[in-house]
Structure 1
Amino acid sequence: MSRVLDVPRELAEPAERGTLTVGHAVVRKVAQHAADQVPGTSRAGKKGTKAKVGGLDNDVDLALDLALQYPAPVRTVVGVVREKVTEEVELLTGYHVRTLAVTVSALLPDVPPRVR
Protein backbone atom coordinates (compact mmCIF):
# COMPACT_ATOMS: atom_id res chain seq x y z
CA MET A 1 0.00 0.00 0.00
CA SER A 2 1.46 3.36 -0.95
CA ARG A 3 0.46 6.58 0.63
CA VAL A 4 0.19 9.89 -1.15
CA LEU A 5 2.88 12.37 -0.21
CA ASP A 6 2.00 15.94 0.53
CA VAL A 7 3.67 17.87 -2.28
CA PRO A 8 3.44 21.66 -2.29
CA ARG A 9 1.66 22.94 -5.35
CA GLU A 10 4.04 25.85 -5.82
CA LEU A 11 7.80 25.55 -5.87
CA ALA A 12 9.89 27.65 -3.56
CA GLU A 13 11.91 30.50 -5.01
CA PRO A 14 15.11 29.30 -6.74
CA ALA A 15 17.34 30.88 -4.09
CA GLU A 16 15.47 28.96 -1.38
CA ARG A 17 15.52 25.52 -3.06
CA GLY A 18 19.11 24.66 -2.16
CA THR A 19 21.95 23.50 -4.37
CA LEU A 20 22.95 20.44 -6.31
CA THR A 21 26.59 19.50 -6.63
CA VAL A 22 27.73 16.79 -9.03
CA GLY A 23 31.08 15.39 -7.95
CA HIS A 24 33.98 14.78 -10.29
CA ALA A 25 33.68 11.02 -9.61
CA VAL A 26 30.23 11.13 -11.22
CA VAL A 27 31.54 13.11 -14.19
CA ARG A 28 34.31 10.49 -14.58
CA LYS A 29 31.80 7.62 -14.62
CA VAL A 30 29.56 9.40 -17.15
CA ALA A 31 32.54 10.05 -19.44
CA GLN A 32 33.77 6.45 -19.19
CA HIS A 33 30.35 5.00 -19.90
CA ALA A 34 29.75 7.33 -22.86
CA ALA A 35 33.14 6.47 -24.40
CA ASP A 36 32.60 2.72 -23.96
CA GLN A 37 29.26 2.95 -25.85
CA VAL A 38 30.86 4.23 -29.06
CA PRO A 39 31.18 1.55 -31.78
CA GLY A 40 34.86 0.84 -32.47
CA THR A 41 36.00 1.22 -28.88
CA SER A 42 37.12 -1.89 -27.07
CA ARG A 43 36.79 -2.68 -23.42
CA ALA A 44 40.26 -3.92 -22.51
CA GLY A 45 39.44 -6.63 -19.98
CA LYS A 46 36.70 -5.49 -17.65
CA LYS A 47 38.21 -2.05 -17.16
CA GLY A 48 37.20 -0.21 -20.31
CA THR A 49 37.99 3.46 -20.72
CA LYS A 50 39.93 5.26 -18.01
CA ALA A 51 39.13 8.92 -17.34
CA LYS A 52 40.59 11.75 -15.29
CA VAL A 53 38.61 14.86 -14.42
CA GLY A 54 39.83 18.28 -13.35
CA GLY A 55 38.65 21.83 -13.54
CA LEU A 56 37.00 24.52 -11.50
CA ASP A 57 33.53 25.92 -11.15
CA ASN A 58 31.29 24.86 -14.04
CA ASP A 59 34.14 23.89 -16.42
CA VAL A 60 35.73 20.44 -16.50
CA ASP A 61 38.86 19.16 -18.18
CA LEU A 62 38.72 15.49 -19.20
CA ALA A 63 41.50 13.09 -20.15
CA LEU A 64 40.49 9.70 -21.58
CA ASP A 65 42.66 6.62 -22.09
CA LEU A 66 40.95 4.00 -24.24
CA ALA A 67 41.50 1.02 -26.50
CA LEU A 68 40.10 0.66 -30.00
CA GLN A 69 39.16 -2.40 -32.00
CA TYR A 70 41.64 -3.35 -34.71
CA PRO A 71 41.28 -2.44 -37.52
CA ALA A 72 39.47 0.79 -36.75
CA PRO A 73 39.54 4.22 -38.36
CA VAL A 74 41.24 5.88 -35.38
CA ARG A 75 40.44 9.51 -36.25
CA THR A 76 36.80 8.74 -36.97
CA VAL A 77 36.24 6.73 -33.79
CA VAL A 78 38.05 9.30 -31.62
CA GLY A 79 35.96 12.08 -33.18
CA VAL A 80 32.76 10.24 -32.31
CA VAL A 81 34.08 9.57 -28.78
CA ARG A 82 34.76 13.29 -28.33
CA GLU A 83 31.25 14.21 -29.49
CA LYS A 84 29.50 11.54 -27.42
CA VAL A 85 31.44 12.21 -24.20
CA THR A 86 31.02 15.98 -24.46
CA GLU A 87 27.31 15.65 -25.17
CA GLU A 88 26.63 13.17 -22.35
CA VAL A 89 28.70 14.99 -19.71
CA GLU A 90 27.11 18.34 -20.50
CA LEU A 91 23.58 16.89 -20.69
CA LEU A 92 23.69 14.74 -17.56
CA THR A 93 25.89 16.80 -15.24
CA GLY A 94 25.40 20.39 -16.34
CA TYR A 95 29.15 20.94 -16.53
CA HIS A 96 30.78 22.54 -19.57
CA VAL A 97 33.56 20.40 -21.08
CA ARG A 98 36.41 22.87 -21.55
CA THR A 99 39.04 20.40 -22.80
CA LEU A 100 38.97 16.74 -23.77
CA ALA A 101 42.23 14.88 -24.37
CA VAL A 102 42.00 11.37 -25.82
CA THR A 103 44.85 8.86 -25.73
CA VAL A 104 44.50 5.63 -27.71
CA SER A 105 46.63 3.22 -25.70
CA ALA A 106 45.85 -0.01 -27.55
CA LEU A 107 44.46 -1.51 -30.73
CA LEU A 108 42.85 -4.85 -29.86
CA PRO A 109 41.69 -7.54 -32.27
CA ASP A 110 37.97 -7.94 -32.74
CA VAL A 111 38.21 -11.71 -32.18
CA PRO A 112 38.57 -13.15 -28.69
CA PRO A 113 41.64 -15.31 -28.07
CA ARG A 114 41.19 -19.05 -28.67
CA VAL A 115 42.86 -20.02 -25.42
CA ARG A 116 42.06 -18.44 -22.07
Structure 2
Amino acid sequence: MNVTTLPAATVPRQREVDPAGRGTTTIRERVVAKVARQAVAERAESRELAGFLGRLRDGQAAGVRVRLSGNVVTVWLRLALAYPVPLRHAVGQVRGHVRDRVQELTGLSVRRVDIEVTRLERDRSLR
Protein backbone atom coordinates (compact mmCIF):
# COMPACT_ATOMS: atom_id res chain seq x y z
CA MET A 1 0.00 0.00 0.00
CA ASN A 2 1.47 3.32 -1.09
CA VAL A 3 0.68 6.43 0.93
CA THR A 4 1.39 9.78 -0.64
CA THR A 5 1.71 12.83 1.54
CA LEU A 6 1.58 16.38 0.33
CA PRO A 7 4.33 18.79 1.32
CA ALA A 8 3.20 21.22 4.00
CA ALA A 9 3.35 24.12 1.55
CA THR A 10 0.59 22.60 -0.65
CA VAL A 11 -1.91 21.95 2.16
CA PRO A 12 -4.46 24.78 2.18
CA ARG A 13 -4.52 26.66 5.47
CA GLN A 14 -7.51 28.32 7.01
CA ARG A 15 -7.20 32.03 7.38
CA GLU A 16 -6.55 33.18 10.88
CA VAL A 17 -9.47 35.39 11.86
CA ASP A 18 -9.71 37.48 14.99
CA PRO A 19 -12.58 36.01 17.07
CA ALA A 20 -14.11 39.48 17.42
CA GLY A 21 -14.32 39.73 13.63
CA ARG A 22 -16.26 36.49 13.15
CA GLY A 23 -19.64 37.98 14.00
CA THR A 24 -22.15 37.27 16.74
CA THR A 25 -24.73 34.66 17.54
CA THR A 26 -28.03 35.86 18.97
CA ILE A 27 -30.35 33.46 20.76
CA ARG A 28 -33.79 34.94 21.40
CA GLU A 29 -35.78 34.45 24.60
CA ARG A 30 -38.48 32.46 22.80
CA VAL A 31 -35.85 29.95 21.64
CA VAL A 32 -34.51 29.57 25.17
CA ALA A 33 -38.10 29.09 26.39
CA LYS A 34 -38.61 26.30 23.84
CA VAL A 35 -35.40 24.61 24.97
CA ALA A 36 -36.55 24.83 28.60
CA ARG A 37 -40.02 23.49 27.69
CA GLN A 38 -38.43 20.56 25.85
CA ALA A 39 -36.19 19.85 28.83
CA VAL A 40 -39.26 19.64 31.07
CA ALA A 41 -40.97 17.40 28.49
CA GLU A 42 -37.98 15.07 28.68
CA ARG A 43 -38.57 14.79 32.42
CA ALA A 44 -42.36 14.59 32.00
CA GLU A 45 -42.02 11.01 30.78
CA SER A 46 -41.39 9.99 34.38
CA ARG A 47 -44.40 9.16 36.57
CA GLU A 48 -43.79 12.02 39.00
CA LEU A 49 -43.98 14.72 36.32
CA ALA A 50 -46.79 13.32 34.18
CA GLY A 51 -49.06 16.33 34.68
CA PHE A 52 -46.75 19.03 33.34
CA LEU A 53 -47.90 19.15 29.76
CA GLY A 54 -51.60 19.35 30.62
CA ARG A 55 -53.69 22.46 31.15
CA LEU A 56 -53.54 24.35 34.42
CA ARG A 57 -56.70 25.06 36.39
CA ASP A 58 -56.81 28.68 35.28
CA GLY A 59 -57.14 27.45 31.67
CA GLN A 60 -53.65 28.47 30.59
CA ALA A 61 -51.16 25.99 29.21
CA ALA A 62 -48.34 24.94 31.51
CA GLY A 63 -45.89 27.77 31.37
CA VAL A 64 -42.27 28.56 30.72
CA ARG A 65 -40.97 32.11 30.82
CA VAL A 66 -37.39 33.29 30.46
CA ARG A 67 -35.46 36.53 30.72
CA LEU A 68 -32.11 37.08 29.07
CA SER A 69 -29.59 39.57 30.35
CA GLY A 70 -26.52 39.35 28.12
CA ASN A 71 -25.42 35.72 28.27
CA VAL A 72 -27.28 34.99 31.52
CA VAL A 73 -30.79 33.53 31.59
CA THR A 74 -33.39 33.21 34.33
CA VAL A 75 -36.14 30.62 33.84
CA TRP A 76 -39.59 30.52 35.46
CA LEU A 77 -41.69 27.34 35.21
CA ARG A 78 -45.32 26.67 36.14
CA LEU A 79 -46.20 23.01 36.31
CA ALA A 80 -48.50 20.41 37.76
CA LEU A 81 -47.13 17.28 39.44
CA ALA A 82 -48.57 13.84 39.97
CA TYR A 83 -49.76 13.07 43.51
CA PRO A 84 -48.34 11.57 45.67
CA VAL A 85 -44.82 12.68 44.88
CA PRO A 86 -41.93 13.98 47.00
CA LEU A 87 -42.22 17.59 45.83
CA ARG A 88 -38.74 18.74 46.79
CA HIS A 89 -37.18 15.79 44.94
CA ALA A 90 -39.33 16.21 41.81
CA VAL A 91 -38.79 19.96 41.62
CA GLY A 92 -35.06 19.49 42.20
CA GLN A 93 -34.88 17.01 39.30
CA VAL A 94 -36.72 19.38 36.97
CA ARG A 95 -34.62 22.36 38.03
CA GLY A 96 -31.32 20.55 37.49
CA HIS A 97 -32.35 19.04 34.17
CA VAL A 98 -33.65 22.34 32.76
CA ARG A 99 -30.52 24.20 33.91
CA ASP A 100 -28.19 21.59 32.38
CA ARG A 101 -30.05 21.32 29.05
CA VAL A 102 -30.40 25.08 28.56
CA GLN A 103 -26.69 25.57 29.25
CA GLU A 104 -25.72 22.62 27.05
CA LEU A 105 -27.87 23.55 24.06
CA THR A 106 -27.57 27.34 24.10
CA GLY A 107 -24.22 28.01 25.73
CA LEU A 108 -25.91 30.53 28.03
CA SER A 109 -25.31 30.65 31.76
CA VAL A 110 -28.45 29.87 33.80
CA ARG A 111 -28.66 32.12 36.84
CA ARG A 112 -31.64 30.31 38.35
CA VAL A 113 -34.69 28.21 37.58
CA ASP A 114 -37.75 29.18 39.64
CA ILE A 115 -40.59 26.67 39.75
CA GLU A 116 -44.19 27.26 40.80
CA VAL A 117 -46.16 24.07 41.39
CA THR A 118 -49.72 25.09 40.54
CA ARG A 119 -51.51 21.78 41.01
CA LEU A 120 -51.13 18.22 42.18
CA GLU A 121 -52.87 15.62 40.01
CA ARG A 122 -53.91 12.27 41.41
CA ASP A 123 -51.81 9.49 39.91
CA ARG A 124 -54.31 7.31 38.06
CA SER A 125 -51.94 4.32 38.03
CA LEU A 126 -52.38 3.91 41.79
CA ARG A 127 -56.14 3.28 41.59
User: TM-score scaled by structure 1?
Assistant: 0.78
Q: How does 1:93-112 map to 2 (within 5 A)?
A: 93-111=106-124
1:30 offset after TM fit, Å? 0.8
1:75 offset after TM fit, Å? 0.7
Q: For residues 72 and 57 of structure 1, do their structure 2 counterparts lie closer, same or farther at Cα, with a shift above 3 Å needed?
A: same
Return the match for 1:44 from 32, 54, 57: 54
Q: How does 1:3-42 map to 2 (within 5 A)?
A: 10=14, 13=17, 14-38=19-43, 39=46, 40-41=48-49, 42=51
1:37 offset after TM fit, Å? 1.8
Structure 1 stretches lacking a partner, 5+ long: 1-7
User: TM-score scaled by structure 2?
Assistant: 0.72
1:89 is the counterpart of 2:82: no
Aligned residues: 104
The answer on whether the counterparts of 1:22 and 1:93 sit within 8 Å (CA) in structure 2 is: yes
1:48 offset after TM fit, Å? 6.3
* Larger Rg computed on CA atoms: 2
Root-mean-square deviation (Å): 2.2
Tell me, in whole angstroms, the C-alpha distance in 2 between the residues paired with 1:91 and 1:28: 14
1:94 offset after TM fit, Å? 1.0
1:63 offset after TM fit, Å? 0.7
The answer on whether the counterparts of 1:49 and 1:65 sit within 8 Å (CA) in structure 2 is: yes
